[in-house]
Amino acid sequence: AKEGGFHAMALTVDFTWYGNRERDIRNDFSIPPKYSLNQIIEAIRKPAWTYDFLSHEPYTYACINTDVPADSLAAFVNSQLCPEFDWRDAEWLLGEWNMPSAVKGVCRPDDAIKAVETGFTTMWVSNHGARQLETSPATIDVLPSIREAVGPDVEIILDGGVQRGTDICKALALGADAVGVGKPYLYGLAAGGTEGVIKAYDILKTELDRAMGLLGTGTVDELKKRGPGLIKKRNGSVRDYPDRYAYERGYGGGII
């Protein structure tokens, strides 16, 4: 990565085990793909998509040898998961990197403090879109406790359900410095390629500007300063708190 000119690294720690992909099971998804009767019927119903799919080169991963067959690719991805990876491994990795680094997957204040002490410069508050552990706490709920734990000077990125400009506004108000988006970018890419991605980001920016204007905050700094007083929380419920000590660890208290 250094030789390739990269200047920052993100270590993903919220994907150490395969999650349960119920939709993939329901759709009989497999690698390599096998075409069921239902998939064939759906392909016939969408002739434009099917023609586009069949008339172009197959999709591949840009950073992996294109000659690798799909089943070997799945094995390769699976081999990259290492549940044994611990803080000592992270410390070694940072010693080899010696540049800005983020740890992606922080959901607890104590882990955030440990990450800062280990040498990470950015906390990436994420639960992998809740696709790994479905009932994990929402990142927007734990964000304030992470900010309180690491103080005002540590950079925080938040992802998970950010699909509108108002979502970005809430994240900034509750302590984030930036957000990560997934679906809006992919929707734009699928619909219009590069121009579609630019359009998606333009929509998010317009919505953020509008939300900030309606809140009476002229700058991001002002939004972050006044943010906690602008957010209304609903009352907690049993669903919000995994156990009796969850609130003390920063969990729970969903956002309206």
Lowest average pLDDT, out of 15-19, 140-144, 219-223, goes to 15-19
CA distance 164 to 185: 11
For the stretch 64-100, pLDDT in tens is 665 655 555 556 666 777 778 899 999 999 999 999 9
Please say whether the beta carbons of 14 and 111 come within 8 A: no
For the stretch 174-206, pLDDT in tens is 999 999 999 999 999 989 999 999 999 999 999
Q: Is the pTM of this model over 0.95?
A: no
Q: Where are the beta strands (DSSP E) in the chain?
A: 9-12, 101-106, 122-125, 155-158, 178-179
- Tokens 């905050």 belong to which residue? 217
Which pLDDT band holds residue 37 (cuts at 50, 70, 90)? confident
Q: Which class for 61: exposed (0-12), middle (13-18), buried (19 or more C-beta within 10 A)?
A: exposed
Report pLDDT for 57: 78
**DSSP tag of 129:** G
Dihedrals phi, psi of 155, to nearest 5 degrees: -70, 135
Catalytic residue among 104, 128, 147, 170: 128
Q: Residues with Cβ < 8 Å from 83, sequence gap 6 or more?
A: 16, 17
128 included as an active-site residue: yes
Lowest average pLDDT, out of 1-15, 26-40, 90-104, goes to 26-40
Element holding 247 (H helix, E strand): none
CA distance 229 to 218: 16
Handedness of CA 201, 205, 211, 215 (dihedral sign): positive
3-state class of 246 per DSSP? coil
Please say whether the beta carbons of 120 and 30 come within 8 A: no
